[in-house]
Structure 1
Amino acid sequence: MKINKEEKTPWICDKCNKELQLSEIKVVYLGGSFEVELMQCPECKMVLIDETLALGKMIEVEKGLEDK
């Protein structure tokens, strides 16, 4: 049996047991806001914030606020 390395295991909402879908989300954090595509549950609307966003863009917003 061949395994297709391009296939990815879907993210599943723990609460609703639905597959997360990529959605355009407006994120508001420490008074700053920006839009980003994130994985979101189609039923309960919970959003998965990945490490890249949490340690990248959100830190930029924090530093921008500290500089003011």
Structure 2
Amino acid sequence: MTADPDVIVGTEASITVCPDGPLLVRGPVTIVDGAGRSITPPSRMCALCRCGRTSRTPFCDGTHKKRKRVSPAEAS
């Protein structure tokens, strides 16, 4: 059996919230859609869409850059 180059052994996953952008997911994760199907991340790090306008669901395609989104900290 060969090692999977996209699996980081002994590393925990982390999620970083990008202001007015996606969630950056780093490390070994399993993404499951609403129907219970596994979605393979394109690499060891992926960006998950938060704006809902991506054409690559659930991954970010940069569409959020086309609109101004106000973060909760800026709204108050």
Q: TM-score, normalised by structure 2?
A: 0.28
Q: TM-score, normalised by structure 1?
A: 0.29
| Pair member with larger Rg | 1
